[in-house]
Structure 1
């Protein structure tokens, strides 16, 4: 897709034609601002297209500050309050997009994520937004004119603008074009950064732990996982490299953020294998059983996992032969399986990026840089990371809307 723009000067230029970028461009354009949106990709909004298994988990009914990680946790409050999931539902309703709710308040398109892309593009067209795509950005420099604060040298020529919005996303999923461009622009203009890391990402296990569980690859079951202040109940999945599944993706952000204030979980992830009941009471009811403990545990856990878990700990005798203290220790291990991951599968398998532009550098109302008038950051490029389940898209809509109303 290439729409060659004619003018060289715009009120607003948006770098990045993803969720936050298109939302921002549409809002600014519909306010009467002249807007150019540019992106280096050949295809529009690939991250939206592949999201939610191709159905796009576009928001969540239960959005709140507690669904986001940031070193500046209050930052997201204002934008989220001013552009809510209800506002986005009104927008998709106007475009006739059918949707449905799944577990945990997650909302998906009935048909295809392409519906969201088409809607955002139509909203941009309503705002007479100009497009330059694919377009390589070669340099950004500060201009002298208040109406041309920024000068952009690109493969489509030179452009000038009063407001520059950086909506370049993070480093996750590099195969569809992720790049550190947004971070470089922030650093160029003297903004502080929070070191980026992959988030919502599978965790790897050290060799000695992997040797015990790698044969279970593909096995999944319900569990509660905790790390720091993060606690979630969803499916846990064993992989050839370690652990995944929704519950692990959720706590991975907290494991990666263990150096954040208030989210310090150390190196450990704790898993409760009996999420729905008191495991010590469950054991007590079966304390006289002559069944091997591993066989007894198959009432609640997959057989191969129960056997591996018991083998690792030497629990290979009938249940009635364990004394009270031993049953206490068994209950503690089952309700608090301590796992020490040795890493993640990295950006290639991460859904989002933790960290980014330090939000203490930005206005929480407008997303504008405090020390560089006219420079805005929206979406994943900044240090606001949502939980799995539509929260990152809601942040894209909310931050894009906030900047689009101000740029």
Structure 2
């Protein structure tokens, strides 16, 4: 039976990414806990999914109404953070460019149709602008003319949406945490989680954590917000799996660079193609990413659990050659301007995929004093300002629609359904799965 922490308790949070920082801030505001965040790297951790130049911020969620509502709740906070940044003479963390969601050959997919309906029924129909003819899309966004000519000829814009500078957002929230008295322990030795510290007489009781330097840190409650590393650190009973999804940067030259700086965040028939992208940022970088069904896996030898493979430990990694080939072929239709551009940067962004694509935020059923908050499934950053309050409710034993939806699952999804299913293995030496050379990233 899970027992919420009492006032005065020490709560250790393992992982200083999106879920970890947001929860640390929410707990710190209560002024009744000692909150300590551990991470193997300084914040923002360079290999966290949350450390990136851009993430989409939208409340278009098809028929997943709970996540639509959660993101709607986050939107005012993004604007408030921009005001805080302005007072600090810092650049905005949220850019309200709108989000352009394109259908194909005159038809919206179920995701787009369900999103528009749900948004309108929630009272936000004023944010939706439908572009139902090729001409209407081109008139509003002439940069997508060739995309439209290639069949992506129906669309709508969610004018409330846009994108966030996710690394800067993490820095901003980190500053807010420090200001509220959250303690941080970072570094490869003293900040790196090695294992749970279990009671000698009852291995089901968590007393704290052990870090890589061998130090035992006592805690009344341990919260694991370790993202894609969670399944490799704690037994989650096949509820989570680390999957890698490719990110590419291009650097267009003028005048195209300036033109592409004014486009919205966009997705091209996303459930069919998996491709989405962003405007050129202030550094001249054009980011396009691919989120397909289950991503790449990197299974470790001892138990075949997939673990993230990042630039921290593999600095020379690019992305699999199969991903480059697929992107070049797909983007020739979706975003043909990239065909004459080199891919100047690549990254594998690692998700913690759950069995059903929903978050897993729950006390661990096998360990007392341990809470898991993971299963971002590729859609965590947009709710950075508010997700911590919901996780805090789970820690404190407050029941809600969110705690019920994110509770520990006791069933598994049938094979090839949900987020855990078909996959490719990353860099296994096979011709189509090896990492691309730098020359192969050139146009």
- Please report the TM-score for the alignment, with normalisation by the length of structure 2: 0.46
More helix by share: 1
Higher Rg of the two aligned structures: 1
- Please report the TM-score for the alignment, with normalisation by the length of structure 1: 0.50
Higher relative contact order (CA 8 A, sep 6+): 1
